[in-house]
Structure formats: C-alpha cells, structure tokens
Amino acid sequence: MDLKLVDPRITAKLLEGYADTITEAVEERNKFYQQQQCPYCGGNALTRTANPRLLFRPDDPLPRYQLRCQNCDCLFDPHTGIVLKTGNVGKAFVPAVPLLDGPDD
C-alpha cells in the first residue's frame, strides 16, 4: 500500500475556516504530565508509557499515558492516581556512605 501525500495547498484550503482546537489541548496535557511527581519516591524524572487497552477513551480525543519513574521504576496512572506497580525506593536514593563492592575498594 503506497502512501499518497496531499498537496499542502489543498490541505490548507480544506482546513480553511476551522478552528485549531487540538494544539491547545495537547499543550495542556503536556503541562499536566510535566507537573507530576512519583507517588512512591517523589521524583520527577518520569517517562510516558502507553498501555494499548487504556490509551484512548471515548470522551477524550488525546491519548492518556501512564508514567514510569526513572528513579524507582514505579508505574502509575496520573489521571486516576492509581499506582499500578510499586517501585524500589532503594534505587532512587544515593546512600550517605559509599558502598564497598569488594577488596579493590
């Protein structure tokens, strides 16, 4: 199946007179994700994770992502606040005293 691109001038002509409502919604959703913190360790280094079964809702035109903490691997849904997988807090913090790995240290 070949992908046939529409001429940008034709696309602009077809969209003429319609308001752009999706760009503002995308910016608000991105800001919502950036303001989240991990409920387990409080970290803010989060990556979006897509679950195909929960990605789209009938009343929401934008995808709804789950967030995974890069510090402790906690997985949670920021829209509902449900923690789907608890993380390992030990991975999130640097110990006050360095750990010795072996005789070389």
The distance from CA 66 to its chain's CA centroid, rounded to whole angstroms, is: 6
Distance between CA atoms of residues 86 and 41, nearest Å = 10
Least confident of 25-29, 44-48, 101-105: 101-105
Does 47 reside within a domain? yes
Q: Domain containing 43: what range? A: 35-91
**Is 48 part of a structural domain of the chain?**
yes
3-state secondary structure the chain: CCCCCCCHHHHHHHHCCCCCCHHHHHHHHHHHHHCCCCCCCCCCCEEEECCCCCCCECCECCCCCEEEECCCCCEEECCCCEEEECCCHHHHCCCCCCCCCCCCC
101 against 28, higher pLDDT: 28
pLDDT of 86 reads 87
pTM of the model: 0.70
SS3 69: strand
Residue 22, in any domain of the structure: no
Judge whether 26 lies within some domain.
no
| Top-confidence residue, 49 or 21 | 49
- 6 inside domain: no
Residue 46 in domain = yes
Q: Are 84 and 78 in contact (CB under 8 A)?
A: no
Residue 21 lies in a domain: no
Residue 101 lies in a domain: no
Domain count, the chain: 1
